[in-house]
Amino acid sequence: MKVKLLRYTEDAELLCGTAALTSTKRGSPSQFFEEMDSEKAKRIIRRVTGYGHTSVIEHACFTFSIEGVSRAMTHQLIRHRIASYTQQSQRYVTYNTLENYVTPPSIRDNKEAKKLFDETLAKISEVYQKLLRMNIPKEDARFILPNAAKTNIIVTMNARELRHFFNLRCCMRAQWEIREVAIEMLRQVKKVAPALFENAGPSCVELGYCPEGKMKPPECNIEEIKKRFRNL
């Protein structure tokens, strides 16, 4: 799996600080932008988003390349609707090697399960190739492909949606692969826009408690989780 932040809004924090001032001050956005510096932006963003006025951070967008992940993962990712996606298509790209699937750690670490998994994937690959040789179109041959099939996707989200995505998907309740992707995305955006992603992470990091109620995983220690995400 590879996650790479490709591009993001230039001067993202200055821009969001400018947006925050625009709503409350007499004067123009261009004037606020010229007078903005990163310390001031950080203070304003903290104050305004603290009131729950989080639309101001929608002005900053982040584009990631997410590579070599399973279709099971991307199916969950694209449920997040306030985003733009382009995914490698199985209608156009032939899925033709046995290297192209993701093995979950629980299967990788269980010898018997791994053998069964690999044998089944090999059989699927063989049937898929056979269907193509029978002139079945790629868009139909792909019906045999599994959730484990590897894929690449490019995604753009604004900072508000990213923070929401991190709340849900950095959480221990999220599935392991999307959690790994989300944590890596957060690590990368924190580097380039720390003020926008201050205290970002699973819901418990922001709220101080777990909103999952009785679904809260027993291994979760909120203080440790907070520390981990603060130092990501």
Ligand X SMILES: Cc1cc2nc3c(=O)[nH]c(=O)nc-3n(C[C@H](O)[C@H](O)[C@H](O)COP(=O)(O)OP(=O)(O)OC[C@H]3O[C@@H](n4cnc5c(N)ncnc54)[C@H](O)[C@@H]3O)c2cc1C
Binding site for ligand X (CB under 6 A): 79-82, 161, 164, 168, 173-174
Minimal CA–CA distance to 70: which of 4, 1, 151, 3?
Answer: 151
In the complex, what is the shortest distance from the CB of residue 155 to ligand X, in angstroms, rounded to a whole number?
12
Task: Answer yes or no: 169 catalytic.
Answer: yes
Closest approach, Cβ 58 to ligand X, in A, equals 11
Chain centroid, CA 193 distance in Å: 16
Nearer of residues 21 and 170 to ligand X, judged by Cβ: 170
- Residue 1 Cα to chain centre, angstroms: 12
Catalytic residue among 71, 142, 163, 169: 169
CB neighbour class for 195 (10 Å; exposed up to 12, middle 13-18, buried from 19): buried
Amino acid in position 159: A
Q: Which amino acid is present at 82?
A: I
32 vs 165 by CB, closer to ligand X: 165
Minimum CB distance to ligand X smaller for 168 or for 222: 168
Q: Taking the mean position of all CA atoms in its chain, how far away is CA 139?
A: 27
Active-site residues, by number, are 169
